[in-house]
Amino acid sequence: MTAEQTLALIKPDAMEKKLQGKIIDDILNAGFTIKTMKMLQLSKEKARKFYAVHQGKEFYAPLVAFMTSGPVIALLLEKVNAIEDYRNLMGKTDPAEAVKGSLREKYGESTRRNAVHGSDSPENAKKEIAFFF
């Protein structure tokens, strides 16, 4: 089987709590290869563009404000079945509903402050990887 790539983001809430090392360990222990990664501060313009699909929704402005509130780490992950496997590792958006042991269950605190982001489809993975790398 061919390896697949996906984007992962470690969000500002996890960075603020200094959880990036634990999250990266969990990703590596789940069998992912980190092809490249970088830490950056999203500008409002870049965050608006990244989350443009949510423009007009009530959570759009607070999401942009949150994602620009501190640095993020963008990771290009690779593994067979990377997109689905990383989504399973992340857990549900709401940490209270996330499977025990998932990143969001362990490190998230709310639907917005949920520690990590991951691509949800091959099409979005391509777009998101290109956006950051």
Active-site positions read 117
Rg (CA), the chain: 14
Neighbour tally for 117: CB within 10 Å? 19
108 vs 34: CA distance, rounded Å: 22
DSSP one-letter code for 99? P
Residue pair 115/8 in contact (Cβ under 8 Å)? The answer is no
First to last CA, the chain: 25
For 99, the token pair is 């499977």
